[in-house]
Chains A and B, each alone.
Chain A
Amino acid sequence: MNHVFRHIALLLVAAAMLLTPLRGLAQDSIPVAEEAQKPTEEKAEKFDAKSFIFGHTGDSYCFHITEIKGEPVCVWLPVIVKCKDGGGWHCFSSKHVCELKEGETFTHNGANFYIPPISAEKYPGKLVEVKADGSLSRPFDISFTKNAFGIFVTCIFLVAFFLPAARKYKKDPMAKPTKYQGLVEWLTYMVLDGIVRPNIREAKVKKFAPYLLTVFFFIFFANLFGLIPFFPFGANVTGNLSITVVLALMTYFFVNLFGNRHYWKDILWPDVPVFLKAFPLMPIIELISTITKPFALMVRLFANILAGHIVIMVLMALIFIIGGMYGAGMGGVMSVVSIFMTIFMTALELLVAYIQAYVFTMLSSIFIGMAQEEPKHE
């Protein structure tokens, strides 16, 4: 029975893959889906896969939890913006702008705001100020968004998880560790002995271990929390470039600010024939490489996590796309397939959550370790 069911499921997956090779996703193919819908169900609300996917994987001004009878259940986060061209600071609840109907604007202290939909061409999903002449202007925006909330959840968890253990150790370092301390110890030394020590020489481990440990556990727990699909988790923190750019900058800072003379000599005056460095070809290449390394870190983490989230969202979107194309029955069948594949993807994402944290920390410690190397004595 199980066997037969598995075959049917596989067939369905194959059929789904063949029939809709993620056409609904690409921007230009959405009209195709719409056209397919139109003859069958004229009144059916069009399903916008792009908005659906990027609305969930991107940042948001409110933390959308669910919908009850058409009413959204949200945690309304504060919007903090400073208007350009001499405009002042504005701070208000995102409830006012998120619940706007199309064409409406929210007026706060003389400034009109609204959020263009994700399908919009200009500033999709971002708060904009509507000027008197109708033009749109993006204010300086430091709103406490869904991802900012996710960052704080992760940070608070990190402090709440590791600090009590540290306090216990400080109080009585020789006491028999509790199970919780054992867990903390195991996690810490997994990173310390598995990633930091092999790459950074022993004398410098104490100096850089705090950063590497923090960055590992930040990425790891942010990744894991991103997979938990309900409040206060589920923000796609590490799949956002704004976050990975900060992490990469931190690594850049730790590599180059603490780099020793040997490291800088290798960049500015490497051991190559003089004509390669007098006309500063090698130094230029080396200087660029100091930037490309953290840049690769930034993109790798961001792309891996975002891709994982997008694949899960695509699997969800497939239900509606198939449903829209072939009717609710096929949509129902697709939902079973999608759920199984989502379970598989989530399991894979658990692995990716660890691997990406590992890779980021590993490469960071390699770069830091290389900048800390002493010249080999002949």
Chain B
Amino acid sequence: MDLFLPESGLVIWMLIAFVIVLLILAKAGWPMIMGAVEKRNSHIADSLLAAEEANNALAGIEQKRQETMAAAQAEQIKIMKESQDLKTQLIEEAKTQARQEAEKIVAEARLKIEKEQAEAMANIKNEVIALSVDIAEKLLQRELSDKPSQDAYIEQLLKNNQPRIEA
């Protein structure tokens, strides 16, 4: 049956039409569509990659921040500890100083007391001397009049002044 025989005319039309369409679409059709879609594909892939990188960078920054925070906290603790130490040290120092000062004051006071004591002793000595001179004076006055009574008197004087001298 001629149904199963190709017609030369139709074959020619088909060949011409199909080759023309193939050339048109192969030149201006498919490469544009494929090119654009592939370009978009790679663009999307790149964008995703960039986003991931940014994410990673962000994670790094976050880590750095945490590290910095931890460091700052440690620093804070350190400073607080130091200040605490300084405080106790200062207090200690102050205490020592105060003690020294007190000791100094006490020593000074003792010196003064000793000095005053010495002065008092000197005064007493002076008084003794003055008393001795007085006695001597009075003795000298009496000696001129009576010898035996003079001796008795000296004896008496000395007896009277015994406690003063001993002290």
Which residues on A are within 8 Å of B, measured CB to CB?
54, 58-59, 80, 123-124, 126, 140-145, 147-148, 151-152, 155, 158-159, 162-163, 165-167, 169-170, 173-174, 184-185, 188-189, 192, 206, 209-211, 213-214, 218, 240-243, 245-247, 250, 306
**B10 & A155 in contact (Cβ 8 Å cutoff):** no
Q: Is B48 an interface residue (CB 8 A)?
A: no
Main secondary structure of the interface of B (DSSP, over half): helix
**A218 & B18 in contact (Cβ 8 Å cutoff):** yes
Q: What 4 pairs across the A-B complex have the smallest Cβ distances?
A: A169-B36, A210-B26, A242-B10, A166-B32
B119 nearest CB across to chain A (Å): 112
B11-65 residues at the A interface, CB under 8 angstroms: 11-15, 17-18, 20-22, 24-26, 28-37, 39-40, 43
**B14 & A167 in contact (Cβ 8 Å cutoff):** no
**B25 & A214 in contact (Cβ 8 Å cutoff):** yes
**A59 & B10 in contact (Cβ 8 Å cutoff):** yes
Q: Is B165 an interface residue (CB 8 A)?
A: no
Given A214-B22, A241-B4, A250-B18, A162 contacting B29 (CB threshold 8 A) = yes
When C-beta atoms are compared, the residue in chain A nearest to B14 turns out to be: A246
Q: Collect the chain B residues with CB atoms within 8 Å of residue A185's CB.
A: 33, 37
Q: Is B6 an interface residue (CB 8 A)?
A: yes
**B34 & A158 in contact (Cβ 8 Å cutoff):** no
Q: Is B8 an interface residue (CB 8 A)?
A: yes
Which among B3, B9, B17 has the greatest number of chain A C-beta atoms within 10 A? Answer: B9
**B9 & A141 in contact (Cβ 8 Å cutoff):** yes
In Å, the complex CA distance between A322 and B47 comes to 68
**A58 & B21 in contact (Cβ 8 Å cutoff):** no
Q: Is B155 an interface residue (CB 8 A)?
A: no
Q: Which of A147, A152, A169 is within 8 Å of B33, CB to CB? A: A169
When C-beta atoms are compared, the residue in chain A nearest to B13 turns out to be: A148
Given A155-B18, A188-B33, A210 contacting B25 (CB threshold 8 A) = yes
In Å, the complex CA distance between A162 and B24 comes to 10
Q: Collect the chain B residues with CB atoms within 8 Å of residue A206's CB.
A: 31, 34
In Å, the complex CA distance between A213 and B9 comes to 25
**B21 & A54 in contact (Cβ 8 Å cutoff):** no
Q: Collect the chain B residues with CB atoms within 8 Å of residue A247's CB.
A: 18
**B7 & A59 in contact (Cβ 8 Å cutoff):** yes
Given A59-B10, A142-B8, A155-B21, A189 contacting B30 (CB threshold 8 A) = no
**A192 & B34 in contact (Cβ 8 Å cutoff):** yes
Q: Which of A54, A143, A210, A241 is within 8 Å of B6, CB to CB? A: A241
**A143 & B31 in contact (Cβ 8 Å cutoff):** no
Q: Is B2 an interface residue (CB 8 A)?
A: yes
B13 nearest CB across to chain A (Å): 4
Can you list 7 A-B contacts (CB < 8 A)? A80-B9, A142-B12, A151-B14, A155-B20, A163-B25, A169-B35, A169-B37
Q: Is B167 an interface residue (CB 8 A)?
A: no
A244 nearest CB across to chain B (Å): 9
Q: Is B5 an interface residue (CB 8 A)?
A: yes
**A213 & B25 in contact (Cβ 8 Å cutoff):** yes
Q: Collect the chain A residues with CB atoms within 8 Å of residue B4's CB.
A: 241
Q: Which of A54, A151, A192, A306 is within 8 Å of B17, CB to CB? A: A151
**A162 & B33 in contact (Cβ 8 Å cutoff):** yes
In Å, the complex CA distance between A211 and B7 comes to 24
Q: Collect the chain B residues with CB atoms within 8 Å of residue A58's CB.
A: 3
Chain B 109-142 interface mask (CB, 8 Å, partner A; 1/0) = 0000000000000000000000000000000000
Q: Which of A54, A145, A158 is within 8 Å of B9, CB to CB? A: A145
